[in-house]
Structure 1
């Protein structure tokens, strides 16, 4: 589908965002992207993207650029209120001028996390064809506060804007720009630092995974459907999952990390073991259990109904062939994942 002339403002041209940008450019979109770094701006410009200098705290810049574009995609973080409020202000401005907007906000499936603490595999599998199950989740769930802000805006705007949530699960794989993911890579960096592969909690809880390249195609599938659909589509429920049909337990993830780090000569014993809570600051701090110890099972039925299918490496193959070679070149000191990886209190 050719979409030349459609303008996209993307917030967060990083691990996910750069892959999405690649898909957008391949399909003829005019893209601008916000970055706070001059070197990143130069790279974006060289690829045919208009750089917008700014950070998540620059609400005026975000609102102005949202108002100036047909489509806004926020994939910088799922846990920043001011930037989301600034996007909504831009969408409101466009609506007041009679302009329609597509806004895709990136959340995440830690929203579905239970309280298993790794002790068992849950029977609950959430389908994005059954929004009532997501609506029943506690307001204290991870990412839920911001998701509700987005949902309230879409309910208020009605058919004046198509506002939807992409909720990726465990994202893995190196993107085409050699950037790495969060959860498995943080576990791997922990293993390199502490000389053992570990898991939080009991290690039995499972998540669905998705390769970052498959995820980027999911965004494009979702976007093109939204562009082609009638205004009433805005009234459908907002949730989209994106997963590859497999599942991985956190203990299994630790085992993969241990096997590959031992094969690379980084650790001597590949046997995974439970990480004590006093070492959680070298993982995700207070959100460690939410991010890498609970169950989060989902089905991307909506994307599959639209014809999307996953294509890429398994978690093990991607870690071995894509991620580990990049990871082993990183000699910086590791002190845990420094940014907020989740939100909420339960």
Structure 2
């Protein structure tokens, strides 16, 4: 049986891992969106077609969507125009009688609270309970983008299968190009710059975890299920979590970072310290309290029900063995993320 054609938006940290899995599973008609012609050759060597453009190039994204059976958006959780371009392309395919699978990448900041490290939480979101997620306000991180997909289900009917992957804290090093994630590496870089292991508030807030390789396999499990399942069944519940069963407080992560940097003789004291708000510019700006100080707890019961299981090393082992050694070799002064990384309804 031939595999459907795939358009992958964002062949980077998450997308690069998905791409490797697509090739391994025999998908041989793949197009990726690339920002620079200079990187196209590396994809062409793998037999992958490239489309030149950025997330702002709605016409390119819409056109490529109309040409492909499967769309996976893993570039960002927070770019509404690119999602709207995908949905417009899917609508065009539907009008021509063509069906489409679309998997969008959101993020577990969607579930976050305002704890800013001061306390944990008993609130746990279950992807078998979509009403709990539907009750989130439009002001929740990523929610406006997710709602565009949720509301498209009725319009597109049985001509589209739509799913939203909601990963928690992602860690690990990508196999294809040795990229790192965002949250924990930012804390490491901050700690190296300021000479202490930093944490937001008391570091008591908790997040679930997932290795990027386990996450990519989660996408593939979801994709294969969507290929075999009716649109009405798929669209009943668009939400999918992907976590490895481990929950860590931000303080636990900072403590491990402190130990590792102390052992590497890069800081003088391994004990974590609270990051003053005036230093949030060296992290995620005004969103720092949410991105690395909130609670976000979820259960990936749906993927587990399909047979998916995490296989990679856990967070702290990966951090010490894989990520921190790379970060210790970085040069140049860390300046933090210069823009908000999570959308909010006020934007």
- Shorter-chain TM-score above 0.5: yes
Query: Is 2:202 aligned against 1:207?
Result: no
Which residue does the alignment assign to 1:77? 76
Does 2:20 correspond to 1:22? yes
Q: CA deviation at 1:39?
A: 3.3
1:178 is paired with a residue of what secondary structure?
A: coil
Paired residues for 1:189-208 under 5 Å? 189-208=189-208
Structure 2 unaligned segments of length 5 or more: list them: none
Deviations 1:251-293 (A, max 9, x none): 1111111111111221121110110000001000111111111
Partner Cα distance (1:42, 1:329) in 2: 28
After the TM superposition, which of the residue ranges 128-137 and 259-268 deviates more from structure 2?
259-268
- Residue 61 (str. 1) matches residue 91 (str. 2): no
Distance 1:323 1:130, change over 3 A: same
Alpha-carbon distance between aligned partners in 1 of 2:319 and 2:7, rounded to the nearest angstrom: 31
Runs of 4+ in 1 over 3 A off after TM superposition: none
C-alpha displacement of 1:333? 2.5
TM-score (norm 1): 0.97
| TM-score in terms of structure 2 length | 0.96
- Match in the other structure for 2:315: 315
Contact 1:158–1:234 under 8 Å retained in 2: no
**Which segment drifts farther, 181-190 or 320-329?**
320-329
Task: Give the match's secondary structure for 1:208.
Answer: strand
- State the distance in 2 between where 1:345 and 1:294 align: 18
Unmatched 5+ stretches in structure 1? none
Give me the whole-angstrom Cα distance separating, in 2, the residues matched to 1:47 and 1:239. 32
Matching residue of 1:229: 229
| CA-CA distance at 1:334 after TM superposition | 1.2
Partner of 2:253: 253
* Residue 166 of structure 1 pairs with residue 144 of structure 2: no
Distance 1:162 1:316 in 2: 36
2:240 corresponding residue in structure 1:
240
**Residues 102, 162 of structure 1: 8 Å contact kept:** yes
Query: Over aligned residues, Cα RMSD in angstroms?
Result: 1.3
